[in-house]
Chain A
């Protein structure tokens, strides 16, 4: 069964450092998403991406965050200058069509720990 692959599974970084989380969505999917889950809290929407541009973003997705699809297969989330409160599980997801009309498949997540 096709799956969304995320790397790294766990990253530890120092506050203020840049972090890039990588995702390989399902190959025939066109819509890509990042969600995050702070330990013990809800899964929260960050951003959706379609046709090489952001289609929607939440209030959480401020100027410290950026997304990119650099090579037609990878989908990345960059955090420019990490803060302690960025520590969370980051989930990438993809869908063939707009979510709602179709369903999201999530990856296993990348755990980010900011010290």
Chain B
């Protein structure tokens, strides 16, 4: 059973759209939930980090964790072309387990 699953996309949306990115995970022991953004041929860049179930907002980004369903989401409001990247969920503790990434394209 795969530990962290993520729809690979690509997901193509028009500028200004609301984007929803999701991951499911299998190990209920996971405690920390992160979203990274990765541009082509670059390292992952941390966007959001949460510990508990619930929502966390940072500007246009909202991270949501539902531990009972083992489901995490990232919402991007008013998406911009500069948001075009691969979004990786990462779950765990000292050793992060990454999802495969969802490629997002925001068209002007």
Residues on A lying within 8 angstroms of B by beta carbon are 4, 31, 35, 41-45, 48, 55-56, 58, 89, 91, 93, 98-100, 103-109, 111
Contact = CB atoms under 8 A, between A and B. Distances in A.
7 contacts: A45-B96, A56-B94, A91-B44, A100-B93, A103-B49, A104-B96, A107-B43
A45 B100 contact: no
Given A42-B98, A103-B46, 7 more contacts: A31-B94, A35-B96, A91-B44, A99-B92, A99-B93, A100-B94, A111-B41
A33 to B, nearest CB: 8
Interface string B71-99: 00000000000000000101011111111
A contact patch SS: strand
Given A103-B49, A109-B42, A109-B43, A43 B98 contact: yes
B31 interface: yes
Nearest to A4: B43
Interface residues of B, number: 23
A63 B3 CA distance: 25
B66 interface: no
Give 7 nearest A-B pairs by CB, closest first: A100-B93, A106-B43, A100-B32, A43-B98, A45-B95, A108-B43, A106-B44
A43 B101 CA distance: 9
Contacts of B101: 42
Nearest to B97: A45
Nearest to A57: B95
Contacts of B44: 43, 91, 106
Given A42-B101, A43-B88, A100-B31, A106 B96 contact: no
